[in-house]
Structure 1
Amino acid sequence: MSESVNHPTRRYHAPRRAEQAAATRRAVLAAARELFIERGYTATTVADIAARADVAVDTVYATVGRKPVLLRELVETAISGAEHAIPGPERDYVTRIRAARSAQDKITIYVDALVSIQQRLAPVFFALRDAAHRDPACASLWTEISDRRAHNMRLFAADLRATGDLRDDLTDQQIADIIWSMNAAEYWVLLVHERGWTPQAFGAWLTDAWTRLLLTPRQD
């Protein structure tokens, strides 16, 4: 009678493989970010990104996707401040804004978050703007991001209104439009990149400006 032999089952190290995949994804996105900013979206090919990331072209497609998907991921992760997109309501600063009781505190929390976001987002956002003129998928993404930002500012305006601290002569839509225009990447670039303001100076100015523009003056 033959004697059966039990061979140990080969164990795959899933955590290690997952970390390797995450590292590859980070490398691909970092390469895409560098090249989109340096050369522009149109002038950058997937082969360029693969070469900069030191991976095969097929790896770029498998890890993230085509160029429009790469650009979307760069925009979403820059906004989220994480390796993957985080829905607005789940972002830490949004939670803290909603928990704050005064409009002044809400504005301060938002501006602090915005300063961090724009340092990551502004260069990528301008790459997207330029790409939107030539690529239909990028044009759709540009419109989507802009509309989403406007919608979120209407929610923010309503949240501010609920504190009772806002001026009565401004509608929520006016409040939202003012914030929407001043939190734009274009506004950040004008003051920080073109006029040489520090991020800290920009944040202090924006907090003061929104306080003066939007809130009922304190009666001392």
Structure 2
Amino acid sequence: MTSDSGVGDHYARRRQRTEARIVTAATELFTNQGYAATSLREVAQRAGVSERSLYQHFATKVVLFQRVVEVGIVGDVGAEPMTERPWSRAAVTAPTLADRVEAFADGVAEMTGRLEPLMAVNAEVENSEPAVRESAGHWRRATLDYLYAFWHGAARDGLLPPDTDVEWLAATTAVLSAAESRLLISRTFGWDAERYRQWLVRTWLELAARP
């Protein structure tokens, strides 16, 4: 029983390492030359795997691109969901609103930094691939749902002024923390990740404190 478990764990780790190499290679190629110009053969060559191995992980280029975006959001190919990551847990459990916002800004700055180079490619693919358009909508709704939970939790814990419009806060901060907004800010102001993070913290805290 133990031996079988060990073999299974080894296989799972090897499969995860292969997937990580494929996703890294695909991210580089999609970012540098676009979606349409990138073939799965090129991805396999860049990743150092056979085409057969690549197809065992990703049956189509659309499925691979969706995984690239998902890994950009979460941070790696591990199974731990974003809501269980340390920064995400701190964002809903820290004792003060400032601490929660700082934790969330840390996570968002890292996440949007990974996603920013993919935004132009994502716009290209959304226009032509219904499955990608659907998954993009899913992630946007998930962001909004997370922020509803974030602000409702803060209100429940007494960290917001009375009569705060939590729905408005969630909708507004969902737009401000989107990767598309990060891309616009970078192109407009040339801010680095730390400047963007500081802006998020200040903006969110000032929005939360408004009458």
Q: Smaller-chain TM-score range?
A: 0.7 to 0.9
**1:194 & 1:60 partners in 2: Cα distance?**
38
Pairing partner for 1:26 from 6, 17, 20: 20
Mapped contact 2:88–2:107 kept (Cα < 8 A): no
Residue pairs, 1:2-81, within 5 angstroms: 18-81=12-75
Give me the CA root mean square deviation. 2.3
Larger Rg: 1
Partner AA of 1:93 in structure 2: W
Q: Which moved more, 1:99-108 or 1:123-132?
A: 123-132
Mapped contact 1:25–1:64 kept (Cα < 8 A): no
| Corresponding residue number in structure 2 for 1:82 | 76
CA positional deviation for 1:95? 1.6
Flag the 1:85–1:44 CA change in 2: closer, same or farther, 3 A.
farther
CA positional deviation for 1:55? 2.3
Number of residue pairs aligned between Structure 1 and Structure 2: 206
TM-score, with length taken from structure 1: 0.83
**1:192 & 1:85 partners in 2: Cα distance?**
31
**1:20 & 1:165 partners in 2: Cα distance?**
45
Flag the 1:165–1:99 CA change in 2: closer, same or farther, 3 A.
closer
Percent identical among aligned pairs is: 25
Higher relative contact order (CA 8 A, sep 6+): 2
**1:24 & 1:195 partners in 2: Cα distance?**
38
Q: Which runs of 5 or more structure 2 residues have no equivalent in the other structure?
A: 1-5
CA positional deviation for 1:153? 1.3
**2:192 & 2:30 partners in 1: Cα distance?**
24
Given the alignment of the two structures, is residue 161 of structure 1 paired with residue 155 of structure 2, yes or no? yes
CA positional deviation for 1:32? 0.8
1:51-87: CA deviations, max 9, x gaps?
2223222211113442222122222222222223532
**2:164 & 2:193 partners in 1: Cα distance?**
28
**1:34 & 1:170 partners in 2: Cα distance?**
43
Flag the 1:126–1:156 CA change in 2: closer, same or farther, 3 A.
farther
**1:129 & 1:159 partners in 2: Cα distance?**
33
CA positional deviation for 1:18? 4.8
Q: Which runs of 5 or more structure 1 residues have no equivalent in the other structure?
A: 1-11
SS for the counterpart of 1:68 is: helix
Higher helix share: 2
Mapped contact 2:169–2:207 kept (Cα < 8 A): no
Q: Which moved more, 1:53-62 or 1:208-217?
A: 208-217
CA positional deviation for 1:193? 4.2
SS for the counterpart of 1:133 is: helix
Mapped contact 1:77–1:85 kept (Cα < 8 A): no
Given the alignment of the two structures, is residue 94 of structure 1 paired with residue 88 of structure 2, yes or no? yes
Flag the 1:15–1:205 CA change in 2: closer, same or farther, 3 A.
same
**1:168 & 1:187 partners in 2: Cα distance?**
29
